A and B are shown apart, each in its own frame.
Chain A
């Protein structure tokens, strides 16, 4: 058995941490809702009129990221709960091939069955790790699923068609990078060290729950736990994305777009900043299609779904900062290679 397969057992051996009282969360939630109602009641009718243009852009861009991501986050959380609580023990894992490489290939195609964007994949991947998937395998799923899923494929096809080759490059690039990362991290001697201590604790808690609580109770607990982990990260990521977009001139990025090298780097930077969901990013970048070179567009469409500000914030709930730096480096270099190669050849 690979070492990282033992992660959940190791985590289960950690000391049992006290569970928070569920009543407290309810009270905090009610208080927040009350505050929001009061805020709305006393806020001016048209709050946008009192904001400067920059502030309005910041609010609009941040909220747009949240609104766009939120349905997928909740869908991912629900799928995660289903995987962790409602599917029979080992239902998914038992069906995966035994060969590690074949396992990763199958996992990179799992997004075809679970069509959520990258935001929703984080809680789902957390659930899969908790059920025994290795960290490397979860990374393969995490980075492949946003691209190799039907919604993303259809929207990319609608935006760019078949002839441009962008869709094929996107799918191939996403698949290869995800499997490369899965392979590299399958060789990690201590996979649990890639995870945050808090998430390791949560996995241990999940194992204890399995033994003690009913499914509905466990589902409710998981929902509370995942939303309290995901939503703050989403809000922080969306806020950062909005902030950087208002601070960095988009014209600067566009100016760089006409060079075969700078265009790739510029669009990767844009993908990192705008933090747009993979399900709709093709339509977003279509408007830049006339300015930027095809390699740059492919780099945008491959890099963005894997690594961006919002995604890093979400991933930080699960992986250590060092791991995220490593992942960002690999994905960025791979995307750059892909984009530059396309610009050179096509």
Chain B
């Protein structure tokens, strides 16, 4: 076999190695250059994209529970870069709600006017938002759903069971969106009244001899706590500050009590201090006080009491307990929903006292259209603009019977929002939900029989109807009375 000799092996090997080396170097340089070029293009492209992008929403924060319980809730929209000023005109809220806007660095604060509706999907849109460093604009949008509300009602049961014993009274809890009367959260042979707090329920129960006991139930479970009272007696005017875990009530000694005699003496009990004793609320110079009515300022530890002499005082129970006089008034009518404005009534006029700054505003409520044809009853102020709901009794074809109805008057324009299912049913009481969205109306059926309780007597077959004030329709009913909104 004729093989071709390799020409100059000693000379070609280094040349080949050098060529290979050059190729390898070129390849590395190309790889490095392409990598740098690609990365450089990416940096340039992303930088341009960032320069042309307006602010984006990084996070949002709203206290949903507070949004349906307290006035003027705030939504904090945090953008990914510092924001230029935003005007109220750029903010749209659906369903329509008045709102203002302010900017601090990256945070856009949307402040709603009033309280939000329960169980409602809100969409907040802020248009033409720009950052402080770039001209590009964008639209920020955020959706949230407000929580449902618990509804409590007291069901008194006068019936007896097979063994001849009275069936227990119960407090049931459901929600606006729930069905039926809900679950039993407390039961006792005789329940006079109750108040619901965030995590507890406090109830006044009655023994057979009408002696009152105050019990506290934790929703987390555990033993019921019995609040110590000075002696056998009567507990009335039970009130609560749900978020502050405080309850207040008045105590009156029973006829057989020995020692000091209490006469509608106010006490405050802190639920976080189970081992402690209730604190007596004393009057000027530390003297015992007799009160006609009392109630907590919403979402606070301050208590408003109306003394037997009709003088009202404001007292901070966890502060210095100094009494701040609020003047003499005939009646306490609660607070305007979502505010700390106390509504008081006098024979000639009503007024509101803003407990935040002490400002007194005389109520100038225009007469409702029904005033000429019906007998006006209880009035509840719905907002600071002077809208109100009022109970009327109207004559019917039956000369012995008056029909109940509730009308809402807004800017002098009245409309009926509730009438019982039959003319023979009566409205016992009504109140407004803390956010001003619903009325809770207690009705007594024509066949209702009195239960004969010494305090807050009620009738068999009572129902509580929830009326949506925006639509003027009854949304649902639950059995029982004394909804917690009226507590």
A and B held together in a complex: yes
- Per-residue A-contact encoding for B205-243, CB less than 8 Å = 1, 0 else: 000000000000000000000000000000000000000
Q: How far is the CB of B20 from chain A (nearest CB, A)?
A: 9
- A344–B49 CB distance below 8 A: yes
Set of chain A residues within 8 Å of B35, measured between Cβ atoms: 180, 184, 330
B413: interface (CB < 8 Å): no
| Cα A346 to Cα B46 with chains together (Å) | 13
- A340–B46 CB distance below 8 A: yes
Q: Which residues in chain B, 440-472, are within 8 Å of chain A measured between CB atoms?
A: none
Set of chain A residues within 8 Å of B43, measured between Cβ atoms: 333, 336-337, 340
- B132–A258 CB distance below 8 A: yes
| Cα A329 to Cα B37 with chains together (Å) | 11
- B24–A340 CB distance below 8 A: no
| Cα A333 to Cα B28 with chains together (Å) | 18
B31: interface (CB < 8 Å): yes
| Cα A344 to Cα B55 with chains together (Å) | 10
| Cα A337 to Cα B43 with chains together (Å) | 5
- B81–A258 CB distance below 8 A: yes
Q: How far is the CB of B396 from chain A (nearest CB, A)?
A: 63
Set of chain A residues within 8 Å of B47, measured between Cβ atoms: 261, 340
A219: interface (CB < 8 Å): no
A341: interface (CB < 8 Å): yes
Q: How far is the CB of B24 from chain A (nearest CB, A)?
A: 3
Set of chain B residues within 8 Å of A3, measured between Cβ atoms: 24
| Cα A202 to Cα B132 with chains together (Å) | 55
Q: For chain A, give the interface size range.
A: 20 to 34
Q: Which residues in chain B, 371-392, are within 8 Å of chain A measured between CB atoms?
A: none
Q: How far is the CB of B338 from chain A (nearest CB, A)?
A: 32
Q: How far is the CB of A341 from chain B (nearest CB, A)?
A: 6
Q: How far is the CB of B193 from chain A (nearest CB, A)?
A: 45
B27: interface (CB < 8 Å): yes
| Cα A261 to Cα B32 with chains together (Å) | 25
Q: Which residues in chain A, 1-51, are within 8 Å of chain B measured between CB atoms?
A: 3
* A329-B21 contact, Cβ under 8 Å, with A337-B43, A344-B50: no
Q: How far is the CB of B380 from chain A (nearest CB, A)?
A: 45
A76: interface (CB < 8 Å): no
Set of chain A residues within 8 Å of B49, measured between Cβ atoms: 340, 344
- A260–B39 CB distance below 8 A: no
A293: interface (CB < 8 Å): yes
A259: interface (CB < 8 Å): yes
Set of chain B residues within 8 Å of A293, measured between Cβ atoms: 80-81
| Cα A340 to Cα B74 with chains together (Å) | 32
A187: interface (CB < 8 Å): yes
Q: How far is the CB of B39 from chain A (nearest CB, A)?
A: 4
A343: interface (CB < 8 Å): yes
Q: How far is the CB of B36 from chain A (nearest CB, A)?
A: 6
Set of chain A residues within 8 Å of B82, measured between Cβ atoms: 258
- B80–A329 CB distance below 8 A: no
| Cα A333 to Cα B47 with chains together (Å) | 12
Set of chain B residues within 8 Å of A260, measured between Cβ atoms: 50-51, 53, 80-81, 134
Q: Which residues in chain B, 1-41, are within 8 Å of chain A measured between CB atoms?
A: 21, 24-25, 27-28, 31-32, 35-36, 39-40
| Cα A341 to Cα B42 with chains together (Å) | 9
Set of chain A residues within 8 Å of B435, measured between Cβ atoms: none
- A340–B50 CB distance below 8 A: yes
* A258-B133 contact, Cβ under 8 Å, with A333-B40, A337-B39: yes
Set of chain A residues within 8 Å of B106, measured between Cβ atoms: 258, 290
- B81–A344 CB distance below 8 A: no
Partner of A329, one of B28, B36, B51, B132: B36
| Cα A180 to Cα B31 with chains together (Å) | 11
Set of chain B residues within 8 Å of A346, measured between Cβ atoms: 58, 80
* Nearest CB in chain B to that of A340: its residue: B46
Q: How far is the CB of B438 from chain A (nearest CB, A)?
A: 37
- A343–B27 CB distance below 8 A: no
- A343–B28 CB distance below 8 A: no
* Nearest CB in chain B to that of A334: its residue: B39
A188: interface (CB < 8 Å): yes
A189: interface (CB < 8 Å): yes
B131: interface (CB < 8 Å): yes
- Per-residue B-contact encoding for A227-264, CB less than 8 Å = 1, 0 else: 00000000000000000000000000000001111100
* Nearest CB in chain A to that of B55: its residue: A260
A326: interface (CB < 8 Å): yes
- B21–A189 CB distance below 8 A: yes
Set of chain B residues within 8 Å of A180, measured between Cβ atoms: 35
Q: How far is the CB of B480 from chain A (nearest CB, A)?
A: 44
Set of chain A residues within 8 Å of B39, measured between Cβ atoms: 330, 333-334, 336-337
- B24–A189 CB distance below 8 A: yes
Interface centre among A261, A290, A334 (most CB of B within 10 A): A261
| Cα A334 to Cα B46 with chains together (Å) | 12
* A341-B36 contact, Cβ under 8 Å, with A187-B27, A189-B24: no
* Nearest CB in chain A to that of B21: its residue: A189
* Nearest CB in chain B to that of A185: its residue: B28
* Nearest CB in chain B to that of A329: its residue: B36
Set of chain A residues within 8 Å of B51, measured between Cβ atoms: 260-261
- Per-residue B-contact encoding for A311-346, CB less than 8 Å = 1, 0 else: 000000000000000100110011011001101101
| Cα A330 to Cα B21 with chains together (Å) | 24
Set of chain B residues within 8 Å of A187, measured between Cβ atoms: 24, 27-28, 31
| Cα A258 to Cα B58 with chains together (Å) | 14
| Cα A57 to Cα B317 with chains together (Å) | 52
Partner of B133, one of A190, A259, A326: A259
- B81–A189 CB distance below 8 A: no
* A-B complex: 9 closest residue pairs judged by Cβ atoms: A189-B24, A340-B46, A333-B39, A260-B50, A259-B133, A258-B82, A337-B42, A261-B47, A336-B43
25 contacts between A and B (CB under 8 A): A3-B24, A180-B35, A184-B32, A188-B28, A189-B21, A189-B25, A258-B81, A258-B132, A258-B133, A259-B81, A259-B134, A260-B80, A261-B47, A261-B51, A330-B36, A330-B39, A333-B36, A333-B40, A333-B42, A340-B46, A340-B47, A343-B50, A344-B53, A346-B58, A346-B80
Could you list 11 further interchain pairs (A-B, Cβ under 8 angstroms) beyond the known A259-B131, A334-B39?
A187-B27, A187-B28, A188-B28, A189-B24, A189-B28, A259-B134, A261-B51, A326-B32, A330-B36, A333-B43, A346-B58
